Amino acid sequence: MSRVSGSTLLFFGLAAVAMTLLILSSAGQLAPAEGLAMRAARPFLLAFNGIGRQMSNVFTTARDLASLRARTQQLQTQVDTLTIENQQLQELQNENARLRELLRFRQLNPTYDFKGGQVIARVLSPGPSNYLSTIAIDLGAEHGIQPGMPVVTEAGLVGRIHKVGPASSTVLLLTDPSSGIQALLRLKRQVGVVMGRAGALPTMDFIPQGEKVSVGDVAITSGLGGAFPKNIVIGQVVEVHQRDYEMFQSATLRPSVNLDRLEFVLVITNFKPMPGQPDDPESVG
């Protein structure tokens, strides 16, 4: 007869115990033991239940955080887009304001014909004396632009056309050392010549001695010499230089136009320099 293995005996033994317990439970004989077991196991069940809730809360929180991060990123993208759009709108409003000022200037000066142009470059190019300080604009010969034409903004004088290409031109600024403009002071009508200076504010030179020059007075084009129209604002006196032993006095001017931030200009197209007035910027206008 073959020997029965230990694992087989264990299996039948456990089966017998399980059957016995099942019969006793059905008969209600195990109720006291079951109650005692439940009371003993209750703290463990409560602990496991709490751990389960905490784990569920952790997973829920992680899911909510991921959703919150995604929403935050979406809102940040919208904020960035709105910020850019707001800046673009502000720039358009500023540009419209500048154009309205130019239009108003044209309406207040019906004697002249103007061509409106945009500054496209600031140029430093070799010239007869050091460097010519110029800007480039998007108007040229095909727009009727010619050398010598005055260039202005609503705030005052910028300079004059220096060189002309087919679709663009360079403007010699009034601050260039080779620029000279016949001018007068508005308050007491003293005459002089506004000269540019490299790296400094322009000066109004050759003002006769004995004339009272006041800080704050405004220099305008005199029209003498025929290189510029009359009564275009050039700048304001910020300092007076007077010595009794000199033949003339001078004044430092702050240009009325911010030449470092030019964006739009007007070219006076129906003003031609007087015959005998060369277009060479070395000449005094």
Flag the least confident range among 49-58, 104-113, 235-244.
49-58
CA distance linking residue 149 with residue 120, whole number of Å: 18
User: What residue spans define the domains of the chain?
Assistant: 42-108, 114-268
Q: Mean of the per-residue pLDDT values for the chain? A: 78
DSSP 8-state symbol, 205: E
Q: Is the pTM of this model over 0.85?
A: no
**Cα torsion 157, 206, 285, 133: sign:** negative
Mean pLDDT of 120-144: 73
CB contact at 8 A, 205 and 248? yes
Query: In this predicted structure, what is the pLDDT of residue 133?
Result: 82
CB contact at 8 A, 105 and 150? no
pLDDT in tens, 242-271: 888 888 999 999 999 998 888 889 999 988
The end-to-end CA distance of the chain, in Å, is 138
Topology given in CATH for the domain delimited by 114-268: Thrombin, subunit H (2.40.10)
